[in-house]
Structure 1
Amino acid sequence: MPSKSSARLAALTVAAVCSAASALVLVPSAHAASARVHDIQGTTRLSPYAGQQVTDVTGVVTGVRGYGSSRGFWIQDPAPDADPATSEGVFVFTGSAPKVAVGDAVTVSGTVTEYVPGGASSGNQSLTEITRPTVTVVSSGNTVPAATRITARSVPAAYTPEAAGGSVNSLPLRPSRYALDFYESLEGMNVQVADARVAGATDPYTELWVTVKPKENPSAGGGTVYRSYDSQNTGRLQIQSLGAVADFPEATVGDTLTGTTAGPLDYNQYGGYRLVANEIGALRDGGTEPETTRAAQRGELAVATYNVENLDPSDATFAAHAAAITRHLASPDIVSLEEIQDDNGATDDGTVTAGATVTKLIDAIVAAGGPRYDWRSVDPADGEDGGEPGGNIRQVFLFDPERVSFTDRAAGDAGTATGVTRIRGKAALTHSPGRVDPANAAWENSRKPLAGEFVFRGRTVFVIANHFASKGGDQGLTSQYQPPARGSEIQRHLQAAAVNTFVKDILDTQKNADVVTLGDINDFEFSTTARLLEDGGALWSAVKSLPRAERYSYVYQGNSQVLDQILISPSIRHAGRFTYDSVHINAEFPDQISDHDPQVLRFRP
């Protein structure tokens, strides 16, 4: 997920760079223009007055933000023009606690600035502001302009005009045709949603996501499924509070904010358009509950993947993770864990062992009534696998020795690659556990795949645990660049190709080998990353066996999406001997112990 820190930057012609924080500031012209709010906002995403001084801009205060790094207030002109492309609201950035109140009629003079949340390198759209203001309160207690309703009917189905990867900033707004143009035409205005379905649970920053289109690609839990790059979910909108944090609802996906939720429409770096609410509807429980999968039958092998989110011995979540594995996952035979940290967590002192972390989890599982798992892993080289500095995250295999055995063969180390050989006519690993092609540049500053050889009821099963490179640095869905650049996927493509090559080595040695490749792939089932993993029919992502409404393991910016996958070899897929379950216990809930839902595959080797 993106960081919650930001810097203020202007977007257009830069005249000066000031301060160590590299804030870019537009130098105002000597001329001060008289303008209305809709003149300042204009008919594109960029103000025609950017970099200029404006005087005596009139409006009524609709919201005041006296906290955080972006303090100021919103004003709205109560006498709008007839052009639906021009917003009637604008944010006035004061930098300190504003001395105005909602309902004040004011005049504002200052400099029009295009501020890019997250900085110019983020690719985000800009937010039109009046900065360095002089404010005069003309009267108080005025009626606030009525909030514009955002509804399923008012938001267009098409998401945004494409600019062949270029910027949409200069394109004329077409709010009746494109959803992002519609939201931009309301930037800074008082808006409202009514009886809005929650599509993203309340997070630690007192934010949540709703959809005004509950029928748009609905998920099983009541959210919105992200189905392709070409079919964006246009009804999503972030909600943040302008009031007391204590009053913000603790919402689960599928709940509803009943009645009216209203306030100014803002733009930020953590998802784009957000309604900063000074009125929040009451929360109605949607009935979404953590799921429980069934236990494996006698002849079935249950294999799971679960990202336990930077687990280290100091965490307070061991009992909760143990309950998840024992109760909700029904104690799978093999569990691939991602983000197991070393024995002292983020302390950066060269420690790479994780025995204390894993043993504490195993003990908690036993206390929760589960099996005493055995485990295998390969310690990473210090600081070489990315993740939280000092944490040395890695993948770990848990396995139930009462149900499955592990074939130990010359355990590899961090830099030693496991290979494929033939023993008695069958494929076997040269190192088990071992790492897949760890010297490959694809794994630079990223987790190396862990391969292991298991035996269940006399049948060998190869399991490859993965944690691919994150999506950090990609441009957001509301980027000014359309389609947005996804630079992080370049590394994942290389990683997918490396794993696919290794799987093909196994299948070239033994055509009918049972191979399970699983983990936090950090990419969608429809992505090029998934296609490269599947290349040549070596693997197939079993999440695609689920109904579309069930295909998700993660919720980000109101999109229920697939990041965690279990891919299977042809011998498993074509025999029709498997069932798959995405067990929704975390991603849709505000009290999540991980931001990922685990996945379980059951099959008969």
Structure 2
Amino acid sequence: MKLQYLLTSLFGPLAAALTIAEINGNQYLSSYNGKNVTDVEGLVTAVGSSGFYLRSTKPDRSSVTSEGLYVFGRTAVSKVAVGDIVTLDGLVEEYRSNNDYIYLTEITSPRNIVVKSSDNEFKPKVIGKDTPQPPRKHFSKLDDGDIFGVPNAESRISEVNPKLQPNTYGLDFWESLSGELVTVRGAYAISRPNNYGDFWVRGDWKVSGLNRHGGLTMLDRGITDHVDANPEAITIGSPLDGSKNADDTKLGDYIGEITGVVTYAFGFYRILPLTATKPQKRSDAEHPAVSFTSKGSCKGISVADYNTENLNPQSTHLPLVIEQIVTKLRTPDLIFLQEVQDNSGATNDGVVSANLTLAALADGIEAASGIEYAWTEVDPVNNKDGGQPGGNIRTAFLYRPDVVELVKPNAGASDAANEVLDGPTLKYNPGRIDPANAAWDDSRKPLVAMWKPVKGTQKPFFTVNVHFGSKGGSTSIHGDPRTPVNKGVEKRTQQAQVTADFIAQILEKDRKAHIIAAGDFNEFAQVAPIRTFVKQSGLVDLDDAAKIPETERYTYLFDSNCQALDHMFISKELRHGVKYEHLHINTWQDTAGEVSDHDPSVALFDMC
């Protein structure tokens, strides 16, 4: 009795001879959290620098409870080897390095490690064969069917501690394998590696959203109007043997078989491979040029949209942007540009003019193609539009004056609110939409302009160039808050309302007006800001009008998803005969070959 009291005082409550499945339990958080356990038996399946992984020798045959467990303890690593069956005592703990992460169940302070036998044979569990198929629709029951539903963060996994349903929910599936040694067969890369070599893959299991290049596109599930963000994907993390994953992996590369342990770290479930991975077969990085060009008149006006990622006269990627516009976009008549910085770039010196930035771009295109470009924009107020401090990013129009021209140019000031006048026409051309509205605090104000073709009809058309507020500060799609925090979604919804109301005013005065709204909306088509914009503006999504396959609707690569942050919306009068292509000239590249973090898109309109 005295001995048990002494042990309890030193190590806390004791739980003797539990199996690994019992420690893990059928929920996210172990019911033994904070308790000491004794005589835990397991087979060592993998060893890392800070601990090792055990597999139960007494499995319960349930797919809900993981038979794997991480033992954290640097000094204990030297006491075991892969293939050992050991018993040990230790403290069950739930660990996370950030309050927005999911907890990882582990045993810490391991002691009394006894090697019972060595060189035991074992096999990894093959995902989708020895386990259920990874779920393809939902991440968590707590998302209530919509991973981007608002309001965000209505609940937390750590507070609800839901029972695992690995056949239904993606996060539950990976949690049910936490600590287990697994094999992914037929793995394809669906992202580039980050700075630490981590990248996402899909295995040979069933997936949704598979696009032609081998990636997974974020989809609208149609019936529920909610987003399918591909919970079946998994991150490949740092190899356990200290080697490095290849740094030139890219979308669509074939990796082959990957064996490692499932864990959770840095906001995501991941597999830590036993050794480094590298592509076994490379995907094609070169996307063809747009298949159509301008007809030089109202019969075929080519219009492009491109976020050029902090472009300034000193940008090392400026010559590459020029080359892309000439060879891939094939010198469109009108280009919606975003992230055009001022003449001094990110130097915070009070400069706001971007005339040298745009001149360098236009002059470079002319030197490469012989085609002259002009531009129009409105300078922002210094450091009031977000982006890099001092950079003063803004939207701008680059255009071919031999094909399109501004109607009665009359640029507004930075703080001047544009208005729709009878005609319809604009008070300022170009001008900014309601720049004093709080919706635009630390964000880009939309730039609206009125044009007409040089040849053919004199009917004008209107363009609205947007760059909505950033998603910076969002929580992980694998994070503790459910739904995940989609940072700035409320502000983007307000921005969508303000922009849509302005467009609706044009259509009120002329229901047959030609209108194009395009740019970096920083939001997905299935989420509240874009749904609001479409409903209130009266415009239609050009992806729909041009019948672009849903899996090919992407302009951006983030984590596991090919996704569309950049959109083009048009008035119904422009739908007839429209052509539209997304040029994946950046998303298909490896890190070194990427020019911008966005893909451009090009459309062809009959304006007659």
TM-score bracket relative to the smaller structure: 0.7 to 0.9
**Structure 2 residue 214 is the aligned partner of structure 1 residue 222:** yes
Q: What one-letter code is carried by the residue in structure 1 that aligns with 2:486?
A: R
Letter in 2 for 1:603: F
Q: What is the letter of the counterpart of residue 500 of structure 1? A: A
Are 1:31 and 2:13 counterparts?
yes
Distance 1:142 1:532, change over 3 A: same
1:116 equivalent to 2:96? Answer yes
Query: Is residue 136–residue 208 contact of structure 2 (8 Å, CA) maintained in 1?
Result: no
* CA distance in 2: counterparts of 1:97 and 1:364, whole angstroms: 62
For 1:160-559, list aligned pairs within 5 A.
Answer: 160-163=139-142, 164=144, 165-168=154-157, 169-212=160-203, 213=205, 216-228=208-220, 229-242=226-239, 247-248=245-246, 250-258=248-256, 260-270=257-267, 272-279=268-275, 280=277, 282-287=279-284, 289-293=286-290, 294-298=292-296, 299-369=299-369, 371-407=371-407, 409-422=409-422, 426-456=423-453, 457=455, 458-486=458-486, 488-536=488-536, 538-544=538-544, 545=546, 546-559=548-561
Give the residue type in structure 2 aligned to 1:397.
Answer: F
Between structure 1 and structure 2, the one with the greater Rg is 2
Matches of 1:52 and 1:389 in 2, distance apart?
49
- CA-to-aligned-CA distance 1:471-518 (integer Å, 9 cap, x gap): 233443333454445352111111111111111122223332211110
Aligned to 1:125: 102
CA contact (8 A) 1:104 1:138 kept: no
Give the secondary structure class of the aligned counterpart of 1:241. Answer: coil
Mark the CA change 1:130 to 1:514 in structure 2 (over 3 Å): closer, same or farther. same
> Residues 241, 356 of structure 1: CA spacing in aligned structure 2 closer, same or farther, 3 A cutoff?
same
Counterparts in 2 of 1:346 and 1:181: CA distance versus 1, 3 Å:
same
Q: Which moved more, 1:293-302 or 1:281-290?
A: 281-290
Matching residue of 1:592: 594
Query: Within 1, Cα distance between the matches of 2:487 and 2:306?
Result: 26
In 2, Cα distance between equivalents of 1:197 and 1:107: 38
TM-score by length of 2: 0.85
Structure 2 unaligned regions, length at least 5: 1-8, 145-153, 221-225
Give the SS at the match of 1:284: coil
- More displaced 10-residue stretch of structure 1: 41-50 or 286-295: 286-295
1:40 is aligned to 2:23:
yes
Kept in 2, the 8 Å contact 1:108–1:134? The answer is yes
Structure 2: distance between partners of 1:367 and 1:360: 10
For 1:129 and 1:315, the matched residues in 2 are separated by 47
- Could you tell me which amino acid in structure 1 is paired with residue 209 of structure 2? N
Deviation of 1:184 (Å)? 0.8
Q: Is the 8 A contact 2:55 2:180 kept in 1?
A: yes
Please list the CA deviations of residues 152-211 of structure 1 after superposition, one character each: whole Å capped at 9, or x if unmatched.
862244534523543445222222343322211101211111112322233443222211
Letter in 1 for 2:451: F
**Closer/same/farther in 2, CA of residues 188 and 542 from structure 1, 3 Å limit:** same
Deviates more, 1:168-177 or 1:576-585: 168-177
Q: Give the AA of the match of 1:218.
A: L
The CA distance in 2 between the partners of 1:309 and 1:79, in whole Å, is 55
Alignment RMSD (CA, Å): 2.9
Superposition deviation, residue 407 in structure 1: 3.8
- Take 1:421 and 1:351, find their aligned partners in 2: how far apart are those partners? 33
Kindly tell me: are residues 281 and 62 of structure 1, through their superposed partners in 2, closer, same or farther at Cα, counting changes over 3 Å? Answer: farther
CA distance in 1, matches of 2:19, 2:36: 13
Contact 2:207 2:230 in 1 (8 A): no
SS of equivalent residue, structure 2 residue 219: coil
- Corresponding residue SS for 1:337: strand
- The one-letter code matched in structure 2 to 1:219 is N
Q: 1:421 to 1:158 in 2, by over 3 A?
A: closer
Contact 1:252 1:589 in 2 (8 A): yes
Deviation string, structure 1 residues 219-245 (Cα, Å, up to 9, x no partner): 122212211335342421111231566
Aligned-pair identity in percent equals 32
SS in structure 2 of the partner of residue 200 of structure 1 = coil
Structure 1 residue identity aligned to 2:94? E
1:525 Cα shift?
Answer: 1.9
Residues 230 and 499 (structure 1), Cα distance of their counterparts in 2 relative to 1, 3 Å cut: closer
Question: C-alpha offsets along residues 546-569 of structure 1, whole Å, 9 cap, x if unaligned?
Answer: 122221111222222221001111
C-alpha contact (below 8 Å) 1:553/1:561 kept by paired residues: yes
**Cα offset for 1:572?**
1.1
The one-letter code sitting in structure 2 at the alignment partner of 1:116 is R
Counterpart for residue 4 of structure 1:
none
2:500–2:537 Cα contact (<8 Å) kept: no
Q: Quick check: 588-597 or 151-160, which moved more? A: 151-160
Which of 85, 95, 100 is the matching residue for 2:64?
85
* Cα deviation code 1:292-336 (max 9, x no counterpart): 102223331111111112223343211211111111111111111
Residue aligning to 1:13: none
TM-score between the two structures when normalised by the length of structure 1: 0.85
Contact kept? 2:218, 2:227, Cα under 8 Å: no
CA distance in 2 between counterparts of 1:147 and 1:179 reads 20
Judge which range, 391-400 or 485-494, deviates more. Answer: 485-494
Q: What is the SS of the residue equivalent to 1:364? A: helix
Answer yes or no: is the 8 Å Cα contact 2:19–2:58 preserved in 1: no
**Number of residue pairs matched by the alignment:** 565
